[in-house]
Structure 1
Amino acid sequence: MSDLVAIVYQTEAKAEKVRQRLLRLQKEYLISLGDAVIAVKTDSGNIKLNQLVNTTAIGAATGSFWGLLIGIIFLNPIIGVALGAASGALGGALTDFGIDDAFMKELSTTLEPGNAALFVLIKNMTADKVLKEIKDAGGIVLKTSLDETKEQILRDALAKAAQPLTGEQPQGAASS
């Protein structure tokens, strides 16, 4: 079973730095990620999701290939590529991979403008080594599906390293 962890950072760049660390740790087999998404609250109050996997682009590429193949069979490869890319992009855009987008947007409404939340879906990990690598980035735990003991260990490690974002926790930051 996977665990969800959402941590708030002062900036999108800081959240991206932590995500890149987690991806490096995944290459070292210390963590296995199901998804890692950064949600940013813009100055206008909108929530922007920076997905790890762009399903629209993957769908368009896959659709183009199959469209080309079918187009060659029916002697019209250009139309086949165009139709394949369009249908693949549409299918990719409608696919929700990993963490539910609506859930992330709803939780991110509590962020201050300019802050970013890193949502990570963890399949499994070597907790002590992963925590050692990310604790210096700080952050505030927004939400987790970890048990209370593990969640408190995470909160304590991040709190030691970070200066407060705005002096207070975002609304709902204490929920789990």
Structure 2
Amino acid sequence: MSEFIVIGFDTVTEADETLSRLRRLQREYLIDLEDAVIATRSAEGAVDLKQSVNLVGMGAASSGVSGAMFGTLIGLLFLNPLAGMAIGGAIGAGTGALAGSLADYGINDDLIREIAETLTPGTSALFLLVRKAQPEKVMAEFKDTRGRIIRSSLSPEDEEKLRSAIAGLNAA
């Protein structure tokens, strides 16, 4: 079961930097992220969300390829496979992009927006859905990072361990 963790930061860039470091740890198999979203609140108060998984692009690419293949096959029936490939690819990419924009993957966007609205202007938050992790090694990587837990689905004992670890690391 995945764990949901929201970490707040005092600047708009810290969440980006932390996610970059988490992606490096993911390539080293120290953490397995199912989804990650960065929410920033500008000084004017506008909330901006950066999804780590681009469903629109993914849907357009995969549907465009399959549409091109089916379009080519249909084009063969009408003796014009190149036109079939072009038309099928365009239709497939369009429908894939539409399907991707309507899909919600991982962390619920409404929950992200609800929590992001509580951020102070000029700050950011990192929303994580973690499948599994090596907590000791991950925490050691972030000993110089300052953040606070806003919300989590961890057990009360595990959340307190994480809070005290972050507090201890921040004090050092």
- Say yes or no: TM over 0.5: yes
Within-5 A mapping of 1:65-144: 65-75=65-75, 76-144=84-152
> Which amino acid in the other structure matches residue 130 of structure 2?
I
> Which amino acid in the other structure matches residue 18 of structure 1?
T
Counterparts of 1:44 and 1:146, CA distance in 2: 33
Report Cα offsets for 1:54-77 as digits up to 9, x if no partner.
Answer: 000000111111111122122222
Question: Is the CA contact (8 Å cut-off) linking 1:136 and 1:158 kept in structure 2?
Answer: no
The equivalent residue for 2:49 is 49
Name the Cα RMSD after superposition: 1.7
Identity across the alignment (%): 40
The equivalent residue for 1:25 is 25
1:7 to 2:10 alignment = no
Question: Is the CA contact (8 Å cut-off) linking 1:35 and 1:98 kept in structure 2?
Answer: yes
- How does the TM-score come out when normalised to structure 1? 0.85
Unaligned runs of 5+ in 2: 76-83
Counterparts of 2:142 and 2:99, CA distance in 1: 35
Shift, 1:160, TM fit: 4.1
Structure with higher Rg: it is: 2
Report Cα offsets for 1:102-153 as digits up to 9, x if no partner.
Answer: 1111111110122111011111111111111123211111101111222122
Between Structure 1 and Structure 2, how many residues are aligned? 163
Counterparts of 1:17 and 1:118, CA distance in 2: 10
Question: Is the CA contact (8 Å cut-off) linking 2:12 and 2:41 kept in structure 1?
Answer: no
> Which amino acid in the other structure matches residue 120 of structure 2?
E
Counterparts of 2:104 and 2:161, CA distance in 1: 31
The equivalent residue for 2:80 is none
Unaligned runs of 5+ in 1: 164-176
Counterparts of 1:48 and 1:133, CA distance in 2: 27
> Which amino acid in the other structure matches residue 33 of structure 1?
L
